[in-house]
Amino acid sequence: MNLWIKHPAAVWTGNDEAAPGGVVISGSTILELVTGSEPESAWDTTLDASDCVLLPGLINCHHHFYQTLTRAVPAALNKELFDWLVSLYPIWANLDEESIVASTETALCELMLSGCTTTTDHHYVFPSRLNHAIDLQAEVAKRLGIRAILTRGSMSLGQDQGGLPPASVVQREDAILKDSERLVKAYHQTGDGAMLQIALAPCSPFSVTEALMRDTAILARQHGVLLHTHLAETGDENDFCLETFGCRPLDYLDRVGWLADDAWLAHGIHFTDDEIRRMGQAGIAVSHCPSSNMILASGICRTKELIASGVHVGLGVDGSASNDASNMMQEVRQAFLLQRLRYGAAGFSHEDALSLATTGGAALFRRKDIGELAVGRQADLALFSLDALRFAGGSDPVASLVTCGAHRAEHVMIAGEWRVTRGELTHVDLAAVKARQRSAAASLLHRLG
- By CB under 5 A, name the binding residues for Zn ion: 266, 318
Cβ proximity to Zn ion, 275 vs 318, nearer residue: 318
Residue 67 CB, nearest approach to Zn ion (Å): 8
Residue 93 CB, nearest approach to Zn ion (Å): 17
Using CA atoms, how far apart are residues 293 and 85, in angstroms rounded to an integer? Answer: 14
Using CA atoms, how far apart are residues 107 and 60, in angstroms rounded to an integer? Answer: 11
**141 near 104, Cβ under 8 Å?**
yes
Residue 298 CB, nearest approach to Zn ion (Å): 11
How many CB atoms sit inside 10 A of residue 167's CB?
11
Residue 318 CB, nearest approach to Zn ion (Å): 5
Cβ proximity to Zn ion, 318 vs 352, nearer residue: 318
Residue 200 CB, nearest approach to Zn ion (Å): 15
Q: Describe the strand order of the beta sheet including 45-48 as a list of residue ranges.
A: 29-34, 22-26, 2-6, 45-48
Cβ proximity to Zn ion, 9 vs 266, nearer residue: 266
Residue 364 CB, nearest approach to Zn ion (Å): 15
Closest CA to 337 of 390, 292, 290: 290
Residue 360 CB, nearest approach to Zn ion (Å): 18
Cβ proximity to Zn ion, 84 vs 384, nearer residue: 84
Cβ proximity to Zn ion, 39 vs 202, nearer residue: 202
Residue 420 CB, nearest approach to Zn ion (Å): 26
Using CA atoms, how far apart are residues 54 and 68, in angstroms rounded to an integer? Answer: 29
Cβ proximity to Zn ion, 61 vs 266, nearer residue: 266
Is there a cis peptide before residue 236, judged by omega within 30 degrees of 0?
no
Residue 357 CB, nearest approach to Zn ion (Å): 17
Closest CA to 259 of 273, 238, 280: 280
Cβ proximity to Zn ion, 173 vs 318, nearer residue: 318
**304 near 261, Cβ under 8 Å?**
no
Element holding 282 (H helix, E strand): helix 273-282
* 3-state secondary structure string across 222-255: HHCCCEEEEECCCHHHHHHHHHHHCCCHHHHHHH
Give the ranges where 12-96 is alpha helix by DSSP (H): 81-92
Cβ proximity to Zn ion, 208 vs 414, nearer residue: 208
Element holding 152 (H helix, E strand): strand 147-154
Find residue 122's DSSP bridge partners. Answer: 151
Cβ proximity to Zn ion, 157 vs 266, nearer residue: 266
How many CB atoms sit inside 10 A of residue 424's CB?
11
Query: Helices 210-223 and 173-187 meet at what angle, rounded to 10?
Result: 20
Cβ proximity to Zn ion, 49 vs 125, nearer residue: 125
Cα dihedral sign for 122, 343, 408, 73? Answer: positive
Residue 383 CB, nearest approach to Zn ion (Å): 29
Element holding 363 (H helix, E strand): helix 361-364
Amino acid at 239: D
Residue 45 CB, nearest approach to Zn ion (Å): 41
Give every CB contact of residue 173 below 8 A, 6+ residues apart in sequence.
156, 209, 211, 212, 215
Closest CA to 279 of 214, 231, 242: 231
Cβ proximity to Zn ion, 60 vs 180, nearer residue: 60
